[in-house]
Homo-oligomer: A and B are copies of this chain.
Amino acid sequence: MITLQQAEIRSGIIKAMAHPARLMIIEYLKAGTKPFSDVFGLFNLDKSTVSKHLLVLKGAGIVSSRKEGPDMMYTLEVPCITDFFGCVTAVIENNVRRQQICLCQERPAK
């Protein structure tokens, strides 16, 4: 059985992924190292907000950064992270099947 301390460390990593913007950043960096400006361009968010999201991912060890000329380059350190999304998708599909959530439209009132 996993200890509470182990669970806390793990949840630190998972918390870092638990935000839509950060998931999008992870997906985006899967294609390779990108400059901050490209990541920023994905969102309608303040620069500071995007910077902080990247800081969270960096703090968790999921991405790394390195200065390159005027740009700050961000790299996904642990690509296996994205393998997990397959399972998350399985959860979502299972939920849809069980009609716990519906992505298409409301069910007609009975």
Which A positions have Cβ atoms within 8 angstroms of B?
Answer: 1-2, 4, 7-11, 13-15, 17-24, 27-28, 60-62, 77-78, 80-81, 83-92, 94-95, 98, 100-101, 103
B9 touches A19 (CB 8 A): no
A-B complex: 7 closest residue pairs judged by Cβ atoms: A7-B20, A80-B87, A61-B95, A84-B84, A15-B18, A18-B18, A14-B18
Chain A interface, >50% SS class: helix
Determine if A92 and B2 form an interchain contact, defined as CB atoms under 8 angstroms apart: no
How often does this chain occur in the complex, in copies? 2
Cβ 8 A contact of A11, one of B23, B60, B101: B23
CA distance A84 to B88 in the complex (A): 10
